[in-house]
Chains A and B, each alone.
Chain A
C-alpha cells in the first residue's frame, strides 16, 4: 500500500513537472504550444551534452540546459510566434507553427544523436531509499523537492509580484491589458521563456530517471496535453490536482488492468469527463490565477 501511494506521488510529480510549461503558456497566450514537447527533448539532450561532452557536474549541466531551453523558447517566440500574432486570427497558425518547430527540433536531434537510447544518470541503478515503508530513488526524491519548490515559487511569483499581476491581466484580457499600458508582447515573451525553461527542466530531470531517445518529446507532450486538458485555463492548484488525478488513474489502471492500456484509459476518461461537462473548464475563465 505504501509503495502504491509513493508511486502515485511520483507519477503526480512527473505529470506536474511535464505539464507546467505547456499549461502556463496556454493559460497566458491561449494557444497550445506543441513545441514544448521539443523544448523538453532539447532540455534532456542539452543536459546530456553539458554533462558528457563538456564534463560539467550534473546540477550545473541541468541549469545550463534550462537556460538553453529558455533561450530557444525566447527565440521561437520572438522570431516566429510574434510575427504570426500580428495577424488578426492567429490561433491556427501558432498551433501549426508549434507543430513545425516540434518536428524541426525532433529531427535535428535525431540527426545529431541518432535513435540510440542514452542515459543522463552517471550512476549505476541502485535500490531506492526506504521512506515510510516505500522505496523511492534519490532522483525521484530530488524531483519531488524541485517540483514542490517550483510550484511554491511559481504561485508566489504569479500571485504576489507586479510581474504576476501583469501576467494575470494579459491572461484575462490581453487587449484590455494593452490599453492599460501593460506591454503585452514583453509579458508573453517572459512567459514563453519561463515555460520553455520549465519544459527543459522537466526534460533534463526526467532523463535522470528514464533513458532518453528522440521520441521522448512526443511522449512527454501526451502527458502535458492530458494535464492541460484537465487543468484548463486555471492555475497551479488546478494543475497539481489534475496531475494527482491522472497519476491515480494511471497507477490504478496499471495495477488493476494493464500498463499497456493506461494511456488509452486515461485519455478516454479525460475526454469523457470533458464531453459530459465541458463547461467546468471554461465557466470561470476570468478567474485565471497562479
Chain B
C-alpha cells in the first residue's frame, strides 16, 4: 500500500511539473529544456530555508514559488533574447550551468552527495512523515496547479499566448507585447515548478543533483509531448503513464537497474512514435500550425 501511494505521490509531483511546463511549451510554443532548473531551485531553496534558517514549512511553501517566479523572470529575460533554435540551445546551456553549479558548490548544495535530513513539514502539530500523509497535501497542490493553469488558459491572457504560438507576427501587428507575455508565462511556469520542487524536497527528505539534471528536463518535456500539449489532462495522463511504467516493468520480473534503462528506452520510443503519428500528444489540442508552434 505504501509503495502504491509513493508511486501516486511521484505521479502527482511530475503532473505539477508537466502542467507548469505545458504553460511554456504547450500554450506558448516555447521549447524549454531547462525546466528541471526551476524544479531544482525550488527543492534546494526549500531545503536550505528549512534547514539553515529554520523557517516553518508553511512560510517556505509561500516564499519558494515567489522566489521561483523572480528567478524564472530573470532566466526568461536572458533566454527570451534568443529565438527559435537558439532559444532551445540557450535553455539547454542554462540547464548545464545549473547542474554544474549544484554539483560543484558543495558548501551550499552538498555537491554530488546532496542535502539530507531535511526536516519533515508539520502543520497544526501533525508531522507529515509517511507517503500516505503526503497524499492529500500533494493532491491539494495539484488541484491549485490545475486551477491556475485552467484559469490562465481560458483567460484573454491565455488566448494571446495561443495566438503568439500560432503566429507571433500577427500578434505583434495587433499591438501585443509578445516578449512581456512570454516573460510572464515563464515566471508562472517557474513558480509552479519551484512549488513542485518544494513539495518534492519535503516529501523525500533528501535531494541530490541527479533529480534536477538535463535528463530530468527531457523527461518532463517527454511527459508534456506524450500526454498532449496545451491540454489540462494530457500532462497528468503523461506523468501517470511514465511514472507507472517502470513499476510495471519491475512487476514483470525485470531487475530495477535494468528497468530504469528499459523505461528510458520505452519513453524514447514512445516520444518518437507520438511525434510521428500523433504530434498533438495523447490528449492534446491540435495546433493550426500543425506542430504546436515554436518561439520563432
Contacts and interface: CB of A to CB of B under 8 A. Distances in A.
- A and B are partners in one complex rather than unrelated chains: yes
A105 B169 CA distance: 38
Interface string A164-193: 000000000000000000000000000000
Given A92-B294, A107-B261, A107-B268, A97 B275 contact: yes
B24 to A, nearest CB: 12
Interface in A32-46: 32
Contact of A274 (B82, B265, B269, B289): B82
B97 A268 contact: yes
- Chain B: interface size category: 35 or more
B89 interface: yes
Between B100, B104, B221, B267, the greatest number of chain A beta carbons within 10 A of the residue's beta carbon is seen for: B100
- Chain A: interface size category: 35 or more
A222 B89 CA distance: 10
A92 B293 contact: yes
B272 A92 contact: no
B93 A270 contact: yes
Task: Say whether chain B's binding surface is mostly helix, strand, loop, or mixed.
Answer: helix
B291 interface: yes
A12 B294 CA distance: 33
Interface in B75-128: 78, 81-82, 84-86, 88-90, 92-94, 96-97, 100-101, 103-104
B264 interface: yes
B271 A100 contact: yes
Interface in A79-101: 80, 83-84, 87-93, 95-97, 99-101
B196 interface: no
A111 B262 contact: yes
A108 B261 CA distance: 8
A229 B86 CA distance: 8
A91 B85 contact: yes
Contacts of A225: 89, 92-93
Contacts of A264: 96-97, 100-101, 104
Nearest to A91: B294
Contacts of A101: 268, 272
Contacts of B103: 260
Contacts of B218: 99, 103
Nearest to A276: B81
B174 interface: no
A32 B261 CA distance: 25
A89 B165 CA distance: 11
Interface of A: 26, 30-32, 80, 83-84, 87-93, 95-97, 99-104, 106-108, 110-111, 218, 222, 225-226, 228-229, 258, 260-261, 263-264, 267-268, 270-271, 274-275, 278, 281
5 contacts: A97-B271, A99-B222, A107-B261, A111-B265, A274-B82
